[in-house]
Amino acid sequence: MQQALASIVALSVLICLPTFAQNTMPLFPCVGKPTAKGCPAAPNAPTFNPIVMKDDYYDVYVESVCINQPDSWWHKKLVHVEVTLKTGKVSQTTEVYAQRTGSQCHIGVANFPLLTSIPANNHRLTLSAHIYRSDDQDGMQQILGFMAGEQKNTVLNTYAAASVPYLTAVSDIGTQVYKAFATHSQDFLDFKPMDLVPEGPVPTRFDLKDEYFVLYAGNQSLGDSDVYLDDSANLHLVADGSVVAAGSTWIVFRIQKREHRSDYPQRPWYSDWENLVRQVETRNIDDATVKKRITADETLLDADADYTDGDKNYYTDKFVQSEAEMLKYLDNPNASATDYGKAIDAALVTPEVMGFSSQGKLITAAGVVDLSGSRAPVVGQISLFNQVTTAQLPKVIVPDKFVHALKEVNAKY
């Protein structure tokens, strides 16, 4: 499959008349052609339980979109796929814009993130999709080019309050420009909402789990056992291996389970804890203040709606353990500040680099940084991102590693 060329715009209203109606159904096909033994193992299949439990997180991606129509249908046209995700109190509609890739049925979308790190919290996931076709005008080409660059350089999709300003900034720009071309859109296909639900007492095909699934519309009556996906997320018929017939449309989605969130360095409860850890090294703080700060951090953590109870319990436990070890250090005049500093060093890791904001700021799991390690903005393009090395990024303290290292320090005295 060719590399994705797509972009995101949030549109408030599109008024179009329906021109296409065929049967639509959700499919959960094999990844790889079935054998006598059933579905083969999916590429990079999870080694853990694939069911998304209440304390897990998950990502939702568009893996591929195929509109199997003749060349005349595509002539001087652009396609945008509107996908709406609802989970808990969150509802987000994302516009995925792209052109046809070559002479095939695909548009230029691959592994496109809709929302990432969604806390399951026993909420069902409701997903719907709509496909529009727009005139291929010079103005539309310009916004496609602009928004494609924004999607590459911006953290848009993380399910977290910290991402909202970036999403809002790009959405506002895209909406303003696109309004001039909205009248040139026509309705093509509407996939009705489908629910994926947390694990119930009896497993069903609609359980929320780590998997690929397909929304299909076409003239053929297909069931799960009739189709499979190849390594490029193309939909094939089991009977003869051919790609699903002309006139059909399908969208392949990917749900990827996460057991933990990786953006804890952005959170106020972590930032205060990390500052506290560094203050204790200098002994310029007393026991009562340490206890008070840890309690405050636990309160902030408990109020963080983006985190599941599982992660909250995990970090709370590490905070309690770190408090005990920091108090041991403070209460022992023989404990070495040099050794305490080594415990911090042993717990440092480089946060994941996530991209650039629309303002040219480098985004990591630790926040917005520049290459000197401060939180100031960086002016640069994607080429700068490619030159970033791990040695140039600020490190963060991993709580469980710090607890382990400080226990070893305290055991020496």
- Chunk the chain into consecutive blocks of 10 residues (it has 413) and report each block's average pLDDT, rounded to whole numbers: 24 26 75 86 76 91 90 83 85 76 82 83 92 70 50 47 42 51 72 87 87 89 89 89 87 90 85 96 95 98 92 96 98 94 93 50 44 33 38 79 96 89
What is the reported pTM? 0.76
One domain, residues 250 and 272 = no
Contact by Cβ (8 Å): 398, 347: yes
For tokens 């490029």, the residue is: 232
Q: Has residue 142 been placed in a domain?
A: yes
DSSP 346: H
One domain, residues 254 and 269 = no
One domain, residues 124 and 162 = yes
Q: What is the pLDDT of residue 15?
A: 23
One domain, residues 104 and 154 = yes
Domain, as residue range, for 309: 264-350+395-411
Q: Has residue 221 been placed in a domain?
A: yes
Q: What is the pLDDT of residue 163?
A: 41
Residues in contact with 47: Cβ distance below 8 Å, sequence separation at least 6, in sequence order:
none
Last residue of a domain, one of 258, 287, 313: 258
Phi/psi for 128 (5° steps) reads: -140, 160
Last residue of a domain, one of 206, 240, 258: 258
Contact by Cβ (8 Å): 131, 78: no
Q: Has residue 357 been placed in a domain?
A: no
Last residue of a domain, one of 237, 258, 279: 258
Contact by Cβ (8 Å): 281, 341: yes
Q: What is the pLDDT of residue 142?
A: 55
One domain, residues 90 and 167 = yes
Q: Has residue 108 been placed in a domain?
A: yes
Q: Has residue 367 been placed in a domain?
A: no
In angstroms, the CA 45 to CA 58 distance is: 15
Q: Has residue 379 been placed in a domain?
A: no
Rg of the chain over Cα atoms, rounded to whole angstroms, equals: 25
Find the angle CA(267)-CA(271)-CA(276) to the nearest 5 degrees: 150
One domain, residues 32 and 138 = yes
SS3 category, 61: strand
| Residue whose C-alpha is closest to residue 362's, from 336, 390, 381 | 381
In angstroms, the CA 102 to CA 396 distance is: 45
Kind and range of the H or E run holding 140: helix 138-153
Q: Has residue 380 been placed in a domain?
A: no
In angstroms, the CA 218 to CA 25 distance is: 9
Q: Has residue 229 been placed in a domain?
A: yes
With 0-12 CB in 10 A as exposed, 13-18 as middle and 19+ as buried, what is 188? buried
> How many alpha carbons fall within 13 Å on the CB side of residue 179?
7
One domain, residues 275 and 312 = yes
Interhelix angle for 138-153 vs 164-178, to 10°? 170
| Total domains in the fold of the chain | 2
Paired tokens of 386: 């490619």
SS3 category, 336: coil
Contact by Cβ (8 Å): 93, 84: yes
One domain, residues 180 and 65 = yes
Give me the numbers of helices (H) and strands (E) for the chain, helices first please. Answer: 9, 18
One domain, residues 144 and 185 = yes
In angstroms, the CA 65 to CA 55 distance is: 31
| Residue whose C-alpha is closest to residue 317's, from 305, 302, 329 | 302
One domain, residues 312 and 243 = no
Give pLDDT tens digits for 274-291. Answer: 999 999 999 999 999 999
* Distant-in-sequence contacts of 137-142, Cβ < 8 A, 24+ apart: 137/181, 137/184, 139/177, 139/180, 139/181, 140/78, 140/181, 140/184
One domain, residues 130 and 159 = yes
CA 183 to mean position of chain CA atoms: 32
* Residue 241 backbone zone (phi > 0: left; psi -120 to 50: alpha; other: beta): left
Give pLDDT tens digits for 97-131. Answer: 777 887 788 888 877 778 888 899 999 999 999 99
One domain, residues 54 and 153 = yes
CA 218 to mean position of chain CA atoms: 30
Report the sign of the C-alpha dihedral through residues 102, 104, 105, 108, in that order: negative
